[in-house]
Chain A
Amino acid sequence: MSAATVPASAGRGPAGWWAWARGVEGRRLVAWILSLLVLAVMTGPSGNNGSPTTGFTGSLLHPRVLVFVALGVAGWALSALRRSQGERLRRLNRSILALPQRAVADRRNRLLVYLVVLGVAIAYPLTLSGFWQQVLVDQIGIFVLLAMGLNVVVGYAGLLDLGYIAFYAIGAYSGAYWTGSLPVHPPFHLNPFWVIPLAIAAAMLAGLVLGAPTLRLRGDYLAIVTLGFGEIIQIAATNLQSVTGGAEGVSGIPHFSVHVGGLHYAWKLSNLPYYYLLLAFVVIALIAFHFLADSRVGRAFTAIREDEVAAEAVGINLLKYKVMAFAIGASTSGVAGLLSASKISFVSSEYFTVQLSILVLVLVIFGGMGSLPGAVAGAAFLQWVPQILRQHPLFGYQPQDLYIYLGALLVVMMIFRPEGMLPSRRRRRELALAERGIGTADAMSGSSDPAVGP
């Protein structure tokens, strides 16, 4: 095996080399180099009307192509090594990846780790530049909250929701409406703080209205219906210009402010105060969802995800719990929408695209479905990477290429670590069982086959 993977074995004539190149390993090497060449073209300069071939000549007939070829060879060598030393490497990989889990294995350590993380989360942003503080709020904080909410729906209950951002839109528009920023005026104007329960209620109501009829469907159909729902909300928001302000959007949504007794404080456009407000929401949601996962309700979610027939047979009302998970996710999304609308003081229907729903789903899957630390870490990491790449463009990274890389990253992740960055214990077990052919790890398609036997 190892002889076949190393082309430099002594005593091989040209014919031997040719045979090797036509063999499995040779073809793999060629595939690696070709893929990297495609990447070179992708990341290289783009052509224009004057010189349409610049895209190719500028990237392939340029010294930088050597970097990509070298990367291709390196990638092949690594994969060959992985194949020949597979078991040993896998064991090493597993023990490295298990480190964080072992570190937080016992209760006292875990609490300590949480406190340290919280301390860093409070202190670290103070040292950051204005740009990164803004990223921390607009890109990371909001999306951490979104990912945590979707994690309840997808990770805990196993329901694939592709229209998740619709609830975010509903939260944002609730904020705009109750503060009197929309073309239609509310009966009375409210401080954004008082809108929080209303935004939660509106998003939850939307979740109930959408969920009650559609959650009877099996996983695949649910995904399609939610996808449609997301589209409906966005298109409605665009076209009901007299109500929502349409694609041009409405501005002037007031910032959060408190007026208690003699204390007056307003969250202005500045980032840090909003960051701490978001942090408070994230911590509250973390604690609440942590308790939820280890409760009667959370276990019922797991039961439904594992085996709907068995769950129903032990008295769990499938529809009720699915709607519940849906509503919890929706209300989290609604809060995130309200916070973001008030922070940037602007809402436009253009923002609430399907792509954004998919992005949040990717964050959850990347972090590890059903795992709270996973959702937080996955969202923070994946939202941070594009920004750091924007600051330090690697290999000519262009922001519009983001989704290409994100897709590639997700594919690689699904091959090598399908359970995500920081998987939950249950999810890891499910995947291990699925490999042995017991049960379905495909949490999202559900397991509602009515095959209870003849």
Chain B
Amino acid sequence: MTAAALATTAEGADPIVSVEGLTLRFGGVVSLAGVSLDHQRGEILAVIGPNGAGKTSLFNCLTGVYQPQAGHIRFRPAGRPPVELVGRRPNRVNRLGVARTFQTSRLFNALSAYENVRIGVESRQRTGPLGAMLRLPRTLGEERASRVRSEELLEFVGLTGRADEVASVLPYGDQRKLEIARALGTGPELLLLDEPAAGTNAGEKAALEALIRRVNQEMGVSVLLIEHDMRLVMSVADRVTVLNFGRVIASGTPAEVQHDEAVIEAYLGRTEPDPAGGDSGTAGPGNAGSGPGGAEDGPVGPGVGS
């Protein structure tokens, strides 16, 4: 994290993805109203905001699930020319190096944990139907490679012992880890995590937090994170962008964002219970205690970068 923050200041801006004026409407409902943000290479960027603020819509635009009416998303993979993500199918976006997880995990439920990861790993390979049916030498080589890589990834997320278990019977926290492993299998440069900690207990949350940090540091993957758990956001994120009603209302280090008047008004709430703070069902994280809590704890303090 420190490295990423330093790199940003030293070289100036080096965004891995830049979103410009993204607008998404469903009929008369405006989900995103001109969202712009830069995600610096190597950093963990958190997107927070009340329910319905457009966070998941932003993810779905980034991954090609939704096609925005206006705006650009420029993805800059390392060592390759930048590409426009708007207008590409989800599988193309994934191939370019943007992987994602889902708000409610969407694993291949009847398959084992190992098979789930392997499907992710294999999506980068080239064996076609003929190679598969005839077991050509290249196929065998690729099979070996994907087997090894899948096992590595399961070990990375700590699911080696559960490789042969059916995905749907895994505990919730393990399902989230498995989804991350599957996404990592596709070899992303940018990983989008949609509420990875939703529904997990305190222990699982701590493990996920460590995992996200390791994905970022050991694998060198930039992470874009949607999360309601403010403690997690404040401890893991390098920068935070706050959305409300489809607009960016604040952006900065966790510490800056936490003290931003607009953010407190719209999302975090004040330290003393303030009914006016919550506008549209700010469930869970909207309670007043979590904001300051995040600031106090901090082996990875939010102030390091500034």
Contacts and interface: CB of A to CB of B under 8 A. Distances in A.
A and B physically associate: yes
Interface stretch (B105-113, B153-161, B204-212): B105-113
Contact of A310 (B60, B102, B103): B102
Given A315-B91, A454-B56, A295 B127 contact: yes
Contact of A297 (B51, B100, B128): B128
Given A439-B168, A453-B104, A296 B111 contact: no
Interface stretch (A115-123, A166-174, A285-293, A372-380): A285-293
B2 to A, nearest CB: 32
Given A291-B135, A307-B106, A314-B99, A438 B168 contact: yes
A452 interface: yes
A102 B95 CA distance: 40
B186 A315 contact: yes
A302 interface: yes
Interface residues of B, number: 49
Contacts, number: 129
A296 B95 CA distance: 16
B109 A316 contact: no
Contacts of A50: none
Contacts of B120: 314-315
Contacts of A328: 129
A318 interface: yes
A296 B90 contact: no
A289 B102 CA distance: 32
Contact of A296 (B107, B127, B194): B127
Interface of B: 51-52, 56-57, 60, 63, 65, 89-91, 94-95, 99-100, 102-104, 106-111, 115, 118-120, 122-125, 127-129, 132-135, 139, 142-143, 146, 166, 168, 182-183, 185-186, 194
A303 B115 CA distance: 10
Nearest to A318: B91
A317 B91 contact: yes
A433 B90 contact: no
26 contacts: A292-B129, A292-B132, A295-B127, A296-B142, A297-B129, A297-B132, A303-B119, A306-B108, A306-B110, A307-B107, A310-B108, A311-B108, A313-B90, A313-B91, A313-B99, A314-B94, A314-B123, A314-B183, A315-B123, A317-B91, A324-B129, A429-B166, A430-B109, A453-B60, A453-B102, A454-B56
B110 A289 contact: no
B52 to A, nearest CB: 7
A314 B185 contact: yes
A426 B99 contact: no
B56 A450 contact: no
B108 A307 contact: yes
Contacts of B182: 314
Contacts of B132: 291-292, 295-298
Interface of A: 288-289, 291-292, 295-300, 302-303, 306-307, 309-318, 324, 328, 426-427, 429-430, 433, 438-439, 450, 452-454
A302 B111 contact: yes
B244 to A, nearest CB: 15
A452 B60 contact: yes
Contacts of A313: 63, 90-91, 94, 99-100, 102, 106, 183
A306 B166 CA distance: 13
A193 to B, nearest CB: 20
Which of B56, B128, B132, B168 has the most chain A CB atoms inside 10 A of its CB? B132
A306 B109 CA distance: 7
- Is chain A's interface secondary structure helix, strand, loop, or mixed overall? helix
Contact of B122 (A291, A292, A296, A452): A296
Given A296-B125, A300-B119, A452 B94 contact: no
Given A307-B106, A307-B107, 7 more contacts: A298-B132, A303-B111, A309-B65, A313-B63, A314-B123, A426-B111, A439-B110
A289 B135 CA distance: 11
A314 to B, nearest CB: 5
Contacts of B123: 300, 314-316
A303 B194 CA distance: 21
Contacts of A438: 109, 168
A288 B134 contact: yes
A328 B132 CA distance: 12
Nearest to A284: B133
A439 to B, nearest CB: 5
A380 to B, nearest CB: 23
A315 B56 contact: no
Contacts of A300: 119, 122-123
- Taking each of B107, B110, B123, which has the highest tally of chain A beta carbons within 10 Å of its own beta carbon? B110
B108 A303 contact: yes
B99, B122, B125, B143 interface centre (most CB from chain A within 10 Å): B122
Listed residue (A324, A429, A430) with the most chain B CB atoms within 10 angstroms of its CB? A429
A282 B103 CA distance: 45
Shortest 5 CB-CB contacts between residues of A and residues of B: A295-B132, A315-B123, A315-B94, A288-B133, A429-B110
A156 to B, nearest CB: 11
Nearest to B51: A454
B106 A316 contact: no
B103 A453 contact: yes
B118 A453 contact: no
B107 A310 contact: yes
Nearest to A428: B110
Contact of A299 (B122, B124, B183): B122
Contacts of A433: 109-110, 168
A315 B51 CA distance: 28
B198 to A, nearest CB: 11
